[in-house]
Amino acid sequence: MIIISKYLIINADDFGLCHSANEACIDLFESGHLLSSTIMAPCPGADEAIEFAKTHPQYAIGVHLTHTNEWMDKFPWGPLSDGKSIRTPEGRMWPESEDFEAHCTYDDACAETLAQIEYCENKGMKPSHVDSHMG
C-alpha cells in the first residue's frame, strides 16, 4: 500500500505592504497559525518585514514579486529598478496587470524581479521562495 501525505501550506502574501499588514502577519506567525509569507520589497513596510524575517529563520519567508500597484492613492510606491517601461508617466508602478503587460518589456520585468530579490538579500534576508503579486 502506498501512503501519500498531503500538506496545506498557507502563505500570507503582501507582508511588507504597510505596518498594519506586518502586524497581522507577525501576529499569525507568533500565534502558530502561519509558517510561510512573502514580502513586497518596493513597499513602505518592507524593511520592517525583512527585519522580522532575518530574526525568525524558522519561518519560510520569501519575496512577493510586485510589478503592479492597485493601491496607488494610499501607497504610492514605485519600482526598485530603473526600467522605463514598468513605470507610469508619474514614475509609479502600473495599477493593473493588464497595464503592466501592455507596457513592460521583458528586460525591464527581469531587472525589476532581480532588484526586488537583491533588495531583500542585501538587507540580510535569505528568501526561502518567491511568488507574485496580481499574477
Q: Distance between CA 107 and CA 115 in Å, rounded? A: 12
Domain limits of the chain? 12-132
Pick the CATH number of 12-132 from 3.40.190.10, 3.40.1410.10, 3.20.20.370, 3.40.50.300: 3.20.20.370
Q: Distance between CA 120 and CA 50 in Å, rounded? A: 7
Q: Distance between CA 41 and CA 77 in Å, rounded? A: 10
| CA max distance for the chain | 61
Q: What is the pTM (predicted TM-score) of this model?
A: 0.92
The angle, 0 to 180 degrees and rounded to 10, between the axes of the packed helices 106-122 and 46-55 is: 50
- For 103-124, b/e burial (b = at least 16 CB within 10 A) is ebeeebbebbbebbbebbeeee
Output the nine-digit C-alpha cell for 20.
498594519
Q: Distance between CA 33 and CA 59 in Å, rounded? A: 11
| pLDDT per residue rounded down to tens, the chain (135 residues) | 888 898 888 999 999 999 999 999 999 999 999 999 999 999 999 999 999 999 999 999 999 999 999 988 888 889 999 999 999 999 999 999 999 999 999 999 999 999 999 999 999 999 999 999 987
DSSP 7: -
